[in-house]
Amino acid sequence: MQDDVWQKYEVLFWVLTGIFVYLFILTIIYLVLKIAFHKKLGGIVLYFSYFFMFPLWFLGEITAYPRRRKMWLIRSELKEGHSYLEEGIGLGTSPILASRIVGAKGRIYALDNHPLQIILLSLRSKIRRIKNIKLILSDAKDTDLEGSSIDTIFICDAFHEFPDKRNTVVELYRILKPVGSLSILEESVRTTINTQKIIESTKLFKLVERDKKFIRFKKNK
C-alpha cells in the first residue's frame, strides 16, 4: 500500500525537491554576490524572477526583441557618434544594438545594479568584439558620469523598478546634454502613465513624443 502511495506522488516529490534545491542554490549565490559587491543589488525577488524567466526571456531577446529595440533606439534619436546611456540593461540587447548605431566614434554606457547582468553583457560584448561599451555596476541615481555628457538616454522596461525614481530623474537631467533625448519604454500603458507623471512632476523635462508604451523627453531650459 505504501509503495502505491509513493509511486503516485513520486513525481511531485522530486519536482518539489528540485524547486527547493534550485531556490537554495540561488539564495546562496545571491548572498555571495551581496557580500562580494559593495554596491546595492536588486532585490532577491527580482533576482529570482530573472532566473525563472531566463529561458523565455533569452528566446525573446534573440528573436523578436532586437528588431523592435532597434526601432525604439532610432525613435530615441540615437545617431552615429553619439554617447548613449542605458539604465537597467536586462540581457544587454539594446546596448549591443546601440553600439552598432553610434559606431566607433560613439560611446555606450550600460548601467545595472545586478552583477549577473553586467557579467552577461561583458561576455556578449567580448564574443562580438565590441569595444565601445563601458559597464557600470551601480544604482540608477548614481551614474558617476560627467555633467552634460550624454546625447541619448534609453530605459527599457526598468524605470518602474527603480527604488528612488525622483533622484534618478535629477541625475539623468544632470548628465544629459542640453539638446539630448531621454526615452523610456515601459511594459504597460499604466506604468507608462505613472512614469510620465513622475518625470513631469520634477519640472526638469518636457514631453515631446508619446504613444501607449513609449515616451520621449527633452530637457527644460
- Stretch 194-209: mean pLDDT, rounded? 96
The pLDDT value given to residue 2: 46
* pLDDT tens track for 50-68: 555 555 555 555 554 567 7
- Stretch 3-24: mean pLDDT, rounded? 65
What domains are defined for the chain?
2-60 (no CATH), 64-219 (3.40.50.150)
Burial class (CB in 10 A: 0-12, 13-18, 19+), 50: middle
The pLDDT value given to residue 20: 72
Specify the pTM: 0.75
Structure-block grid coordinates of residue 119:
557579467
CA 152, CA 73: separation in Å to the nearest integer? 9
Q: Are the C-beta atoms of residues 211 and 217 closer than 8 Å to each other?
A: no
- Stretch 34-60: mean pLDDT, rounded? 57
* pLDDT tens track for 134-186: 999 998 999 999 999 999 999 998 999 898 999 999 999 999 999 999 999 99
Q: Amino acid identity of 45?
A: V
